[in-house]
Amino acid sequence: MDTFMAARMQMGVSLGFHIIFACIGMVMPWFMFVAEWKWLRTNNPVYLDLAKAWSKGVAIFFAVGAVSGTVLSFELGMLWPGFMEHAGPIFGMPFSWEGTAFFVEAIALGLFLYGWKRLNKKVHLYTGLVVGISGVLSGIFVVSANAWMNAPAGFDWIDGQAFNIDPVKAMFNKAWFSQAHHMTIAAFSATGFAVAGVHAILYLKNKLEIHAKAITIALAFASVAAILQPVSGDLAAKNVAKLQPAKLAAFESHFETQTKAPLIIGGIPDVENETVKYAIKLPGFLSFLAHGDFNAEVIGLDQFPKEEWPPVPITHYSFQIMVGIGTFLMLIAAIFLAGTFKYKHWLEKKWWLKMLFAATPLGFIAVQAGWIVTEVGRQPWIIYGIIKTKDSLTPMPGIQYTFYTISVVYLILSFVVIWLLSRQIKVLHAKYLSNG
Partner 1 sequence: MVEFNFLILVICLFLYVLLGGADFGGGILELLTRGKAASIVTKAIAPVWEANHVWLILVVVILFVGFPSVYSTVLTALHIPVLLVLIGIIMRGSAFTFRHYDIEEKRPMKIYSVIFQYSSLFTTFFLGVTLGGIILGEITMDYREGFYQVYIHPWMNLFSMSMGLFLVLLFAFLAGIFTVSEIKDEKYVRYFAKVTKRLLLGLVITGALVFLTAKLEGHGLLVEFIQSPVSIAAIVLATIALPFLWKYLNHPNVVMLRLIGGFQTTMIVTGWFAIQFPVLVNIKDGPDITLQNAGAPYKVQLYLLIALVVGVLIILPSVGYLYKVFKFGDDTRDNF
72 touches ligand HEM by CB under 6 A = yes
296 touches ligand HEM by CB under 6 A = no
233 touches ligand HDD by CB under 6 A = yes
Considering only residues 73 to 132 of the shown chain, the ones binding ligand HEM according to CB under 6 A are 73, 76, 80, 83, 102
Nearest residue (CB) to ligand HDD, 149 versus 214 = 149
Considering only residues 36 to 75 of the shown chain, the ones binding partner 1 according to CB under 8 A are 52, 56, 59-60, 62-64, 66-71, 73-75
Nearest residue (CB) to partner 1, 108 versus 214 = 108
d(CA 179, CA 151) in angstroms, rounded, equals 11
Q: How far is the CB of 98 from partner 1 (least distance, A)?
A: 8
Q: Which of 53, 93, 170, 190 binds ligand HDD (CB under 6 A)?
A: 190
For residue 84, the partner it binds in partner 1, ligand HDD, ligand HEM, none, with Cβ less than 5 to 8 A by kind, is partner 1
Letters for 100-139 (x = contact with ligand HDD by CB under 6 A, - = none) are ----------------------------------------
Give, in order, the Cα–Cα distances in Å from 126 to each of 70, 90, 173, 213, 409. Answer: 27, 35, 33, 21, 36
373 touches ligand HDD by CB under 6 A = yes
Nearest residue (CB) to ligand HEM, 146 versus 320 = 146
70 touches ligand HEM by CB under 6 A = yes
363 touches ligand HEM by CB under 6 A = no
Considering only residues 210 to 249 of the shown chain, the ones binding partner 1 according to CB under 8 A are none
Residues that bind ligand HDD (CB under 6 A): 143, 150, 175, 179, 182-183, 186, 189-190, 229-230, 233-234, 236-237, 240, 247, 322-323, 325-327, 329, 363, 366-367, 370-371, 373-374, 377
Residues that bind ligand HEM (CB under 6 A): 8, 11-12, 15-16, 18-19, 21-22, 25-26, 61-62, 65-66, 69-70, 72-73, 76, 80, 83, 102, 135, 138-139, 142-143, 145-146, 183, 368, 371-372, 375-376, 378-379, 382, 389
